[in-house]
Chains A and B, each alone.
Chain A
Amino acid sequence: MTRTLAAQALASRLPPLLVAAERVAATVAAGVHGRRRTGSGDSFWQFRRYQPGDAASAVDWRQSAKADRLFVRENEWAAAQTVWLWRDPSPSMDWASAAALPAKRERAELLLLALAALLLRGGERVALPASGIGPTSGAAALERLGTALAVEAVAATALPQPAGLPRHAEAVLLSDFLLPLEAVEAAVRALAAAGTVGHLLQVLDPAEETLPFSGRIRFAGLEDEGATVVRRAEDVRDAYRARLLAHRDGLAAIARAAGWSFAVHHTDASPQTALLALHARLGER
């Protein structure tokens, strides 16, 4: 599957992504890296004083014999984080201003798969809430993700609902976020309320940024939003730009309010840059 291969190729240029586990959640499962805190694992972490309620079997008799107190041996908690990935499946993503440029949806899926490849290589678990693929890991998982993305029907779905995600999940949302700001805010707030930490990446075509058209043009949307006739497209260019920036500021504000991150990616830029940024932001948490 070529798309998967491309994503793997892209991901191979970055070190395995280590997602710092920040919080103990129901989503935690046994993983391969130590979380630098006590938990179930194989490697020793620390001894601590016995407290009432500890199981007798937890007492490290050897250590306790060296001193007056009883010590309980604690191992380092080794666990894998599950990252929930979502990209906008709506028709508006299926658009590119020029034949040489990839469609926004194509770019979003590439980024999604590359991120998934990185996470999987780091031993993390990846889930696709929209496709109904639960947390999964291993080498074959990437193939499954790619297939699921390909067969997934294009639908004018709004942002993912908290019902689909466990609490305290980590989510990456890729979309053009050209929905009305209220819709985005409602969705993000709902997710944030469930404890989800998210990252928003706005994928835009350069033409959407600059409105490079001229002359008398009838603009029509791709999702039955309606159409409008512009007498001279070059005249409205500045007004459009102002509106687009205002919209983006709104998005950034929504993300900030929820404690999420927000970034913009253009399809004419290298996907490497966007992947690097995502990688960094997932890693710093």
Chain B
Amino acid sequence: MSGLAFAAPWALAALAVLPVLWLLLRVTPPPPRLVRFPPVRLLFGLEAREDAAARTPWWVLALRLLLAVTAILAVAGPLVNPAAPLVDGSGPLVIAVDDGWAAARDWPARSAWLSAQADRAERAGKPVIVVATAPPAEGGPLAVAGPMAAGEARRLLAALQPKPWPTDRAAAAAAVQAIPRDTVMAATWLADGLDDGAGIAFARALQSLGGGLEVVAARTGRILIPPEEQGGDPLTATVRRPGAADRLERVAVRAMDGRGTVLARTEADLPAGEREVAVSLRLPGGLHNRLARLDIEDEAGAAAVVLADERWRRRPVGLAAGGAGASAAPLLDPLYYLRRALAPVAELSEGELSALLGERPPTVLMLADVPAILGTTARAMTAWMEGGGVLVRFAGPAVAQAQSGGGEPDAFLPVPLRAGGRSLGGALSWTVPQGLAPFPEDGPFAGLAVPADVQVRTQVLAEPTAELAAHTWARLADGTPLVTAARRGKGWAVLVHTTANAEWSNLALSGLFPELLQRLTRMAEGRPEKSAGPLPPAALLDGFGRLTPPGGAATALATADTVPGPRHPPGLYGESGVRVALHLGPALGWPAPLALPTGVKAATIDGGGHEIDLRPGLQTAALLLALLDLAAALALRGVLRARTVAVAVAVAVAATPAAAAEAESFALDAALSTRLAAVRTGNAAVDRKSLAGLSGLSRAIDQRSTLHLAEPMAVDVERDPVLFFPLLYWPVTATQPAPSAAAVERLNTYLRKGGLIVFDRAAEGPPLNDGGDGRLEALTRGLALPALAPLPADHVLTRSFYLLAGQPGRFDGGTVWVEAAQGGAANDGVTPVVVGAADWAGAWAADAAGRPLYPAVPGGERQRESALRFGVNLVMVALTGNYKADQVHLPAIMERLRR
């Protein structure tokens, strides 16, 4: 219902007295202005006419009538788009709320609607009963709250939060049935649009209260189903919409790391009628292990979040070669094919076996043709395998040679081997190279297709024993084992009976090879054992899909396929290192849309617009009119002169900062003392960090040198002159617009006159790659930048104050680029620009007490000190130019002096 209504219509009756007021105002003239006048004697008797008919000026009359009308209307309390008034009667209003996961998507709108309901009940003077249909977080039984006063209900409703689990309408229906039926109660239900099997029962229970039922619908949350292939590339997640599928929706799924940096983002369309869409995310190389969560962009809700746990991590794989070792020809290198096959799916490390088994051993070790493992290495290897390591060995000439020598059997082979190798299809043999037999159904390679063209020419043979068949995971066509494996503690010892390169077979050249290796790698996935005991909650999702510390009734997780609920909210469970994610999405399946029984009044949450109460506005207007009237009355009596008003207006105008004066004061501020400046990016967090960083750097310079720098300023390159600053710190952010032509012109002048701009590409976290990502290029388009080169070791930046070896900021690494050295460069060879990706401001930033604001990684305080020293050098270069560069000639000068 839209239109205008009044909360207290009887007050409008007061409008009837307006004519009387008009008459009264008309007959009472305003008192005359009083003027003191010494020659008043001369005025006596000048005007003999009787002075009775002085009129109130018409505008004063209009002003006062308007004031009266406004005041009367304010008392009447007009409402635009008033909600339907509640039916009379003293029975309470029952407000049922679905506060399960599906309600989180537009919870602010739902919350506003609930508040409006409380207002409605308050106006009608009705008590309120609140029924929340999701089981409460503290694990208690579902119960109704109330009846209570509307004001109290408003507080309760405002505190209501969506829960990260489904509703339990059966329990809610039971709770509603338990409400005593002594009066007729109207009910209104803010539904999430999904049926959990008891939707109709719940609606009937509400209807049975007797006052009618209104069901209000809003948008339903969507579900993100985790990818099947959790370590795969690309990741393919599925977005489902269980609610209304009647129109096209655009979804964006993004992958984020633990700090909230978006690693990848993909958009997809959900056309009308479709309920499900698959979204593929391709993570940039090397970032796979940083993945912490996938979620649907701009959608709150526990079901729209998928958390990455240990199963998602890429396994670290160690590679080592024995025998001939690395070959000069890459294709003959024993590890070449292993590297190529594993690089996309695993973190590779190579080295000596003892080094690989050192501090942080990989979970999988692949040894190509390593004949024997002896001594302390063998002991470390045994312990590692017992702890869950997977050792994959490839045969080769050296292994075959070691077996033929007899003696101690190799403890790290799954099966004993016969001496010597077996050659198939050689010049002196009538056997032919063997293909592969289909993989056993119960083995780890089950389901892999066998290419027909794979042929094994040479292999090592296992001693035929009774257990050989049990240990065999893959066979050649003639039945001889190709891959054998044996359990070693929690780990595995696996032997591939041929080489890892193309020397003995063309297996390494086939598409099967990477798949075999991936399967083997996944053997080591740190999937906690089912018998590892219950997993304590580590971090849990709340109803909006945010990770929170565990609380409420959350208890340890016994089995991974638990259905999320108050006792097991979705989130991460387990100790650090063996985290298991419990997801809400897969457990939900396909919830059916909500069906309603007959006799229910359906509505939508935004139907008819929001109720707007005009009373506060009218009250303000009446007050302002009263002030205006007072001013007018004073002016008429001459107390308030036009000049006073002019002064007041002038004061008010002067209080609003004039642009010209502001620009001038900016220039004064900037020019009167030496100070650094940071370019304002529009990202408030980055801007604050830049200023805090420059301020910390200024303080450090103050303490360490005779230079005194005033507090840094933030400048807007579009508006402010930058010419005053020796150094301009420019954090590069994603959202920054490129400077306009005028700003570019100004910046070019600044650079030409000897300014120094420091671009920092890591202001929003370290950039994904060291090369350009387009942002800097977009920002500096049009700037007259010289050719850049990586900072040479003897550059003046490394010696202008401190002698420095590195230029770290908050992050270490990343190349620092300066003007490429060339004879007779502009600005006397002083670089006009420094580009880095180290977040220097983050390292410099300190609070008022000098405590650092951001951690420096990975080097800690030592790295921060280096960063500060680099900052000091930067400022020195900005202020003194290449003065210190002359020091490079010092040895020559000394030499000449000595002569």
Do residues A178 and B37 form an inter-chain contact, with CB atoms below 8 A? no
Do residues B42 and A240 form an inter-chain contact, with CB atoms below 8 A? yes
A217, A218, A221, A227: the one within 8 Å of B38 (CB) = A221
Find the residue from B34, B40, B45, B638 having the highest chain A CB count within 10 A. B40
Q: Which residue of A lies closest to B49 (CB)?
A: A231
A235 to B47 Cα, complex, angstroms: 9
Do residues A178 and B39 form an inter-chain contact, with CB atoms below 8 A? yes
Do residues A243 and B35 form an inter-chain contact, with CB atoms below 8 A? no
Q: Which residue of B lies closest to A247 (CB)?
A: B42
Do residues B36 and A222 form an inter-chain contact, with CB atoms below 8 A? yes
B32, B38, B39, B44: the one within 8 Å of A216 (CB) = B32
B34, B41, B46, B51: the one within 8 Å of A225 (CB) = B41
A226 to B42 Cα, complex, angstroms: 12
Kindly state whether residue B43 has any CB partner on chain A within 8 Å. yes
CB-defined contacts of B34 to chain A, threshold 8 Å: 217-218, 220
A229 to B45 Cα, complex, angstroms: 10
A132 to B85 Cα, complex, angstroms: 89
Kindly state whether residue B33 has any CB partner on chain A within 8 Å. yes
Kindly state whether residue B630 has any CB partner on chain A within 8 Å. no
Do residues A208 and B38 form an inter-chain contact, with CB atoms below 8 A? yes
Given A219-B37, A221-B37: A229 and B42 within 8 A (CB)? no
Q: Which residue of B lies closest to A218 (CB)?
A: B32
Do residues B47 and A226 form an inter-chain contact, with CB atoms below 8 A? no
CB-defined contacts of B40 to chain A, threshold 8 Å: 219-221, 225-228
CB-defined contacts of A244 to chain B, threshold 8 Å: 39, 42
B33, B39, B54: the one within 8 Å of A208 (CB) = B39
B31, B36, B39, B46: the one within 8 Å of A230 (CB) = B46
CB-defined contacts of A45 to chain B, threshold 8 Å: none
CB-defined contacts of B43 to chain A, threshold 8 Å: 219, 228, 230, 236, 240
Q: Which residue of A lies closest to B38 (CB)?
A: A92
A208 to B49 Cα, complex, angstroms: 23
A92 to B34 Cα, complex, angstroms: 16
A207 to B43 Cα, complex, angstroms: 13
Looking at the assembled complex, report how far the CB atom of B85 sits from the nearest CB atom of chain A, in whole angstroms. 53
A74 to B36 Cα, complex, angstroms: 61
Kindly state whether residue A239 has any CB partner on chain B within 8 Å. yes
CB-defined contacts of B638 to chain A, threshold 8 Å: 217
Q: Which residue of B lies closest to A220 (CB)?
A: B36
Kindly state whether residue A176 has any CB partner on chain B within 8 Å. yes
Given A215-B33, A216-B33, A217-B33: A230 and B38 within 8 A (CB)? no
Kindly state whether residue A213 has any CB partner on chain B within 8 Å. yes
Do residues B35 and A213 form an inter-chain contact, with CB atoms below 8 A? yes
Looking at the assembled complex, report how far the CB atom of B831 sits from the nearest CB atom of chain A, in whole angstroms. 62
Interface string of B635-657 (1 = CB under 8 A from A): 00010000000000000000000
Q: Which residue of B lies closest to A93 (CB)?
A: B38
A225 to B40 Cα, complex, angstroms: 8
CB-defined contacts of A225 to chain B, threshold 8 Å: 40-41
Given A216-B33, A217-B33, A218-B32: A226 and B44 within 8 A (CB)? yes
A247 to B47 Cα, complex, angstroms: 19
A215, A221, A231, A239: the one within 8 Å of B41 (CB) = A221
CB-defined contacts of B38 to chain A, threshold 8 Å: 92-93, 95, 104, 176, 178, 205, 208, 221-223
Give residues 204-263 of A contacting B (CB, 8 Å).
205, 207-208, 213, 215-223, 225-231, 235-236, 239-240, 243-244, 247
Kindly state whether residue A52 has any CB partner on chain B within 8 Å. no
Given A216-B54, A219-B40: A236 and B47 within 8 A (CB)? yes
Looking at the assembled complex, report how far the CB atom of A241 sits from the nearest CB atom of chain B, in whole angstroms. 9
Given A216-B33, A220-B34: A228 and B44 within 8 A (CB)? yes
Do residues A229 and B51 form an inter-chain contact, with CB atoms below 8 A? yes
Find the residue from A205, A213, A219, A222 having the highest chain B CB count within 10 A. A219
Looking at the assembled complex, report how far the CB atom of B40 sits from the nearest CB atom of chain A, in whole angstroms. 4
Looking at the assembled complex, report how far the CB atom of B54 sits from the nearest CB atom of chain A, in whole angstroms. 6
Give residues 61-117 of A contacting B (CB, 8 Å).
92-93, 95, 104
Looking at the assembled complex, report how far the CB atom of A183 sits from the nearest CB atom of chain B, in whole angstroms. 11
Looking at the assembled complex, report how far the CB atom of B642 sits from the nearest CB atom of chain A, in whole angstroms. 12
A231 to B48 Cα, complex, angstroms: 10
Kindly state whether residue A180 has any CB partner on chain B within 8 Å. yes
Q: Which residue of B lies closest to A244 (CB)?
A: B42
Find the residue from B34, B42, B54 having the highest chain A CB count within 10 A. B42
Given A95-B36, A216-B54, A218-B32: A178 and B49 within 8 A (CB)? no
Interface string of B6-43 (1 = CB under 8 A from A): 00000000000000000000000001111111111111
CB-defined contacts of B37 to chain A, threshold 8 Å: 207-208, 219-221
Find the residue from A95, A104, A207, A231 having the highest chain B CB count within 10 A. A231
CB-defined contacts of B31 to chain A, threshold 8 Å: 218
Do residues A231 and B33 form an inter-chain contact, with CB atoms below 8 A? no
A180 to B32 Cα, complex, angstroms: 27
Looking at the assembled complex, report how far the CB atom of B173 sits from the nearest CB atom of chain A, in whole angstroms. 78
Interface string of B799-840 (1 = CB under 8 A from A): 000000000000000000000000000000000000000000
Looking at the assembled complex, report how far the CB atom of A154 sits from the nearest CB atom of chain B, in whole angstroms. 13
Give residues 39-68 of B contacting A (CB, 8 Å).
39-47, 49, 51, 54
Looking at the assembled complex, report how far the CB atom of B39 sits from the nearest CB atom of chain A, in whole angstroms. 5
A229 to B42 Cα, complex, angstroms: 13
A10 to B43 Cα, complex, angstroms: 36
Looking at the assembled complex, report how far the CB atom of A97 sits from the nearest CB atom of chain B, in whole angstroms. 9
CB-defined contacts of A235 to chain B, threshold 8 Å: 47
Do residues B47 and A219 form an inter-chain contact, with CB atoms below 8 A? no
Q: Which residue of B lies closest to A178 (CB)?
A: B39
A220 to B38 Cα, complex, angstroms: 8
A176 to B41 Cα, complex, angstroms: 13
Do residues B35 and A231 form an inter-chain contact, with CB atoms below 8 A? no
A244 to B113 Cα, complex, angstroms: 77
CB-defined contacts of A243 to chain B, threshold 8 Å: 42, 46
A208 to B43 Cα, complex, angstroms: 11
A95 to B37 Cα, complex, angstroms: 8
Looking at the assembled complex, report how far the CB atom of A177 sits from the nearest CB atom of chain B, in whole angstroms. 10
Looking at the assembled complex, report how far the CB atom of B766 sits from the nearest CB atom of chain A, in whole angstroms. 68
Looking at the assembled complex, report how far the CB atom of A108 sits from the nearest CB atom of chain B, in whole angstroms. 13
CB-defined contacts of A176 to chain B, threshold 8 Å: 38-39
A230 to B46 Cα, complex, angstroms: 8
Do residues A240 and B35 form an inter-chain contact, with CB atoms below 8 A? no
CB-defined contacts of B49 to chain A, threshold 8 Å: 231
Do residues A178 and B41 form an inter-chain contact, with CB atoms below 8 A? yes
Q: Which residue of A lies closest to B637 (CB)?
A: A218
CB-defined contacts of B54 to chain A, threshold 8 Å: 216, 231
Do residues A180 and B35 form an inter-chain contact, with CB atoms below 8 A? no
B32, B39, B41, B42: the one within 8 Å of A217 (CB) = B32
A178 to B51 Cα, complex, angstroms: 27
Q: Which residue of A lies closest to B54 (CB)?
A: A216
CB-defined contacts of B41 to chain A, threshold 8 Å: 178, 180, 221, 225
A222, A229, A239: the one within 8 Å of B32 (CB) = A229
A230 to B32 Cα, complex, angstroms: 9
Find the residue from B43, B47, B49 having the highest chain A CB count within 10 A. B43
A180 to B39 Cα, complex, angstroms: 11
Give residues 244-285 of A contacting B (CB, 8 Å).
244, 247
Q: Which residue of B lies closest to A214 (CB)?
A: B33
CB-defined contacts of A229 to chain B, threshold 8 Å: 32, 47, 51
CB-defined contacts of A92 to chain B, threshold 8 Å: 38
CB-defined contacts of B35 to chain A, threshold 8 Å: 213, 217-220
B32, B33, B36, B46: the one within 8 Å of A236 (CB) = B46
List 4 other contacts, CB 8 Å, given A213-B35, A236-B47, A239-B46.
A178-B42, A219-B35, A236-B46, A243-B42
Interface residues of A (CB under 8 A from B): 92-93, 95, 104, 176, 178, 180, 205, 207-208, 213, 215-223, 225-231, 235-236, 239-240, 243-244, 247
A-B contact pairs, 12 of them (CB 8 A): A92-B38, A216-B32, A216-B51, A216-B54, A218-B34, A219-B43, A222-B36, A225-B41, A231-B51, A231-B54, A236-B43, A247-B42
The 9 closest A-B pairs by CB, nearest first: A221-B40, A92-B38, A216-B32, A218-B32, A236-B46, A219-B37, A243-B42, A217-B33, A219-B40
